[in-house]
Amino acid sequence: AILADQIAAGEVIERPASVVKELVENAIDAHSCRIDVLVKEAGLAEIRVIDDGAGIPADQVPLAFRRHATSKITSKRELFRVTTMGFRGEALPSIASVADLTMVTAVAGADGYQYHVRGGEVLAQGVASARPGTDVTVSQLFYNTPARLKYLKSPQTELSQIVDMVYRLALGNPTVAISLTNNGKELFRSAGNGNLQQVIAAIYGVKVARKMVAIEGQDDDFTIHGYVSLPELTRAGRKYQTLLINHRYVRNFNLTKALIEGYGSKLMVGRYPFAVIDINLDPLLVDVNVHPAKREVRLSKEAQLGQLLTTTIQARLAQENL
């Protein structure tokens, strides 16, 4: 079972940033209001995620570490209507199979539970006092999978991957207050008040955020909303366009292209706008089961959505007489 978990980990857990992603997504699924991510040495030494969410009842903690144990999907039908960030029940057993992991969790009004597992082996567990919520500490990532360990990049690179991951999670969840601290130094904090423009300001700076304009569009299948910059505010390179589908960050070349097409010839060659766009759609129209890390999604009606993105941008620029 440990080997199966390690194989699954190979697909889901590539680096410290993947651990951050999975733990924060779990915290979001648990309806947390506040999530603090504390890493040491860019996560190479330690990754800790503290949330104030629902917690796990003591008697269900061991189950949460069993492969394909998820509390989030109860029928095959639901698999095609995923609304939570997680649903595979793979993250916790995967991480626990390739690292040292301690979870302390409690539901409101009950005793907490502590669970310590290393390389898939439970070292200690039992009742512990804890505030409601969940606190997970992961250290020695990949200590028992040398090939993975070798593949890790410099602390700078790993840290920037974590930062980008936290940005995306914060942009997709403006109602959750998310912070990131490395070696005691706070790198990011969102207010959690639901204001997307404020999250954008916390990431790209107040000057950029102030210059971005709200966009909204919809057709029979899709609703889109977010903020984009006008053609006067661009950057070289294509990393400042964030697409979210039902609050989940996705990479989709065709949709990003459709977004940029909305600007037509108003962009200088090699220059791209800032954009943060959340696309809401019936979960039936999106298949998130393509890749375990869920970065890639398969969309029905992708061309139709691209068209909507292009025309929404065009209409918004026209409002500015552009």
Binding site residues, ligand ADP, CB under 6 A:
22, 26-27, 30, 51, 53-56, 64, 70-72, 86-92, 134
Q: State the nearest-atom distance from the C-beta of 20 to Mg ion, in Å.
A: 12
Q: Give the CA count within 13 Å in the CB-facing half-sphere of 53.
A: 25
Q: State the nearest-atom distance from the C-beta of 132 to ligand ADP, in Å.
A: 10
- Which one, 50 or 201, has the nearer CB to ligand ADP? 50
Structure tokens at 256: 């990003």
- Give the full edge-to-edge strand order of the sheet including 222-229: 212-218, 222-229, 275-281, 241-245, 248-250
Selected binder of Mg ion within 86, 112, 192, 306 (CB under 5 A): 86
Q: State the nearest-atom distance from the C-beta of 26 to ligand ADP, in Å.
A: 3
Extract the runs of DSSP E, i.e. beta strands, from 99-255. Answer: 100-106, 112-118, 121-128, 133-139, 177-182, 185-189, 212-218, 222-229, 234-236, 241-245, 248-250
- If one asks whether residue 119 binds Mg ion (CB under 5 A), the answer comes out as no
Selected binder of Mg ion within 17, 50, 91, 258 (CB under 5 A): 91
Structure tokens at 149: 């360990």
How many residues touch Mg ion under the rule CB under 5 A: the total is 3
Give the containing element (helix H, strand E) for 286. strand 286-287
Q: State the nearest-atom distance from the C-beta of 25 to Mg ion, in Å.
A: 5
Residue type for 107, please?
V
- Which one, 25 or 260, has the nearer CB to ligand ADP? 25
- The answer to whether 147 touches 59, Cβ cutoff 8 Å, is no
- Which one, 180 or 209, has the nearer CB to ligand ADP? 180
Q: Report H helices in the chain.
A: 2-12, 16-29, 61-64, 76-79, 91-97, 146-151, 155-172, 196-204, 206-211, 253-261, 302-319
Q: State the nearest-atom distance from the C-beta of 104 to ligand ADP, in Å.
A: 11
- The answer to whether 171 touches 244, Cβ cutoff 8 Å, is yes
Decide which of ligand ADP, Mg ion, none touches 90; Cβ closer than 5 to 8 Å per partner kind.
ligand ADP
Of residues 22-61, those binding Mg ion (CB under 5 A): 26
Q: State the nearest-atom distance from the C-beta of 154 to ligand ADP, in Å.
A: 28
Q: Which residues are near Mg ion by CB under 5 A?
A: 26, 86, 91
